[in-house]
Amino acid sequence: MKIKNLRMFHLSVPLKKPFKTALRAVDSAEDTVVIIEGEKGLLGFGEAPPTAVITGDINPGIRGIIREKIAPKLIGEEIENLEKLLHIVDRAAVGNSSAKAAVDIALYDLFAHRYNIPLFRLLGGNGSQIMTDLTVSVNKADEMAEDAVKAVKEGYKTLKIKVGKGRDKDLERVKAVREAVGPDIAIRLDANQGWEAKEAVGLIKEMEELGLNLELVEQPVPAGDLEGLKFVTENVMTKIMADESLFSPANAFLLLKMKACDLLNIKLMKSGGIYNANQINSTAEAWGVECMVGSMLESKISVTAAAHLGAAHKNITRFDLDAPSLLAEDPVQGGIEIDGPIIRLPEKPGLGIDDIAGLKEV
Ligand code: MG
């Protein structure tokens, strides 16, 4: 089946409340949607959010690289040659991981439609249901405690607390959240590169001594400071997860070889899509290291792709796929079914997306 066309659209979705991390604050998701058209009306959907502070991507860059360097190489090709096409996407340009992810996801979706099979089954089919955490944005301690209690009432058993904005305040934030939610809720922290290595060790040790019982700490130090990440990993008991330090399979190999972290956070927008994400997970599995699958601030299109990936593989044991729950509207019909923390995968071909409202062609 030939690829007939690749079209791009703008999708704008407001958030329920501003999303705040150590790196940024945003109040809406403004994403690029890719639709690849096959024959007989079959479509493949993909999506990329512009996350300049993490991936360096902005919408005009995502759209420009797809229009000039990726789409011309795919149109007229046969979707049955999936790996060849994924390789073309991966080699089309240096960097540009979000643009590549949007196209990679749309290719996988179209391929799965071609064979009339749900994507998670195509990828291995380990399960059809996963449990996500919910993110609590970094704010004043009492506001974070309130947000955490609200999430627990909605059924979330794991919370991801954003920190990394001032050492004393971070300790206060985590203490407030732990006191508010009690001992039975798992708390993972994400410092988004907001600490220095020694500061991180001091702070995490203090939290350990206070019995705050952290499941893991994500990206305590700047992305490029792999030695610092290793120093933190070696000097605390709490598990340390690499996020912004990990983009490619080669990054994963180096982090694992250095023993710089205990866990990896795969995001399709960093890896450039499912093809590379699979390689990262397999590499980690071979080293005995588990992965989480996370997302940027995305709509249900690419989060559905991440959920299919996560549901397919047993080595992906943690899920941070709450982005659709942070949106004030859901323009995507079909895809994952979200019931609080429970995400169910549809028994429909590909991603299972039926339609997307409010798209503007670009
Ligand atoms: Mg993170």
pLDDT value for 237: 98
pLDDT value for 17: 87
Q: In terms of domains, do 100 and 153 share one?
A: no
- Structural domains counted in the chain: 2
CATH code for the domain of 106: 3.30.390.10
Confidence band of 169 (pLDDT split at 50, 70, 90): very high
- Residue 98 in contact with residue 30, Cβ under 8 Å? no
Among residues 162, 165, 230, 300, the one annotated as catalytic is 162
Average of per-residue pLDDT across 289-293: 98
Among residues 160, 267, 270, 300, the one annotated as catalytic is 267
Q: In terms of domains, do 98 and 125 share one?
A: no
Domain extent, residue 252, equals: 121-356
The angle formed by the CA atoms of residues 70, 14 and 59, to the nearest 5 degrees, is 20
Distance from Cα 267 to the centre of ligand 1, integer Å: 9
In percent, how much of the chain has pLDDT > 70? Answer: 100
Distance from Cα 328 to the centre of ligand 1, integer Å: 22
- Residue 260 clears pLDDT 90, i.e. is over it: yes
65, 87, 116 — which closes off a domain? 116
Beta carbons within 8 Å of 153's beta carbon, 6+ residues apart = none
CATH code for the domain of 297: 3.20.20.120
Q: In terms of domains, do 159 and 191 share one?
A: yes
- Residue 105 in contact with residue 113, Cβ under 8 Å? no
Q: What is the pLDDT of residues 26-80, one digit of tens each?
A: 899 999 999 999 999 999 999 999 999 999 999 999 999 999 999 999 999 999 9
Quick check: is 281 in a domain?
yes
pLDDT value for 58: 97
Residue 206 to residues 142, 197, 202, 236: CA-CA distances in angstroms? 20, 14, 6, 10
- Residue 283 clears pLDDT 80, i.e. is over it: yes
**CA dist., res. 353 & res. 341, Å (int):** 20
Confidence band of 163 (pLDDT split at 50, 70, 90): very high
Say which amino acid occupies 114.
R
- Residue 106 in contact with residue 293, Cβ under 8 Å? no
Q: In terms of domains, do 41 and 135 share one?
A: no
Quick check: is 362 in a domain?
no
Average of per-residue pLDDT across 269-292: 98
Distance from Cα 84 to the centre of ligand 1, integer Å: 31
Annotation says 267 is catalytic: yes
Confidence band of 90 (pLDDT split at 50, 70, 90): very high
Q: In terms of domains, do 192 and 312 share one?
A: yes
Quick check: is 11 in a domain?
yes
Q: In terms of domains, do 150 and 218 share one?
A: yes
What mean pLDDT, rounded, does the chain reach? 96
Quick check: is 9 in a domain?
yes
Annotation says 16 is catalytic: no
Quick check: is 361 in a domain?
no
Average of per-residue pLDDT across 99-111: 98
116, 142, 171 — which closes off a domain? 116
- Residue 116 neighbours by CB distance under 10 Å: 10
Confidence band of 23 (pLDDT split at 50, 70, 90): confident
Distance from Cα 195 to the centre of ligand 1, integer Å: 13
Confidence band of 120 (pLDDT split at 50, 70, 90): very high
Q: Output the furthest CA–CA distance in the chain (Å, rounded).
A: 62
Confidence band of 166 (pLDDT split at 50, 70, 90): confident
Distance from Cα 243 to the centre of ligand 1, integer Å: 5
Quick check: is 198 in a domain?
yes
Residue 266 to residues 241, 246, 252, 263: CA-CA distances in angstroms? 10, 8, 10, 10
Distance from Cα 202 to the centre of ligand 1, integer Å: 20
Quick check: is 153 in a domain?
yes
- Residue 219 in contact with residue 243, Cβ under 8 Å? yes
Distance from Cα 126 to the centre of ligand 1, integer Å: 25
**CA dist., res. 81 & res. 103, Å (int):** 15
pLDDT value for 96: 98
Q: In terms of domains, do 275 and 226 share one?
A: yes
Distance from Cα 191 to the centre of ligand 1, integer Å: 7
Quick check: is 26 in a domain?
yes
Average of per-residue pLDDT across 305-323: 97
Q: In terms of domains, do 275 and 128 share one?
A: yes
Q: In terms of domains, do 89 and 156 share one?
A: no
Distance from Cα 156 to the centre of ligand 1, integer Å: 18
The residue whose two tokens read 């299972």 is 352
Average of per-residue pLDDT across 287-314: 96
Distance from Cα 217 to the centre of ligand 1, integer Å: 9
Distance from Cα 293 to the centre of ligand 1, integer Å: 10
Q: In terms of domains, do 18 and 140 share one?
A: no
Residue 338 to residues 45, 92, 159: CA-CA distances in angstroms? 19, 35, 16
pLDDT value for 159: 98
Q: In terms of domains, do 206 and 300 share one?
A: yes
Burial class of residue 77, CB neighbours in 10 A (0-12, 13-18, 19+): middle
Distance from Cα 200 to the centre of ligand 1, integer Å: 15
- Residue 8 neighbours by CB distance under 10 Å: 23
Distance from Cα 192 to the centre of ligand 1, integer Å: 6
Average of per-residue pLDDT across 73-101: 97
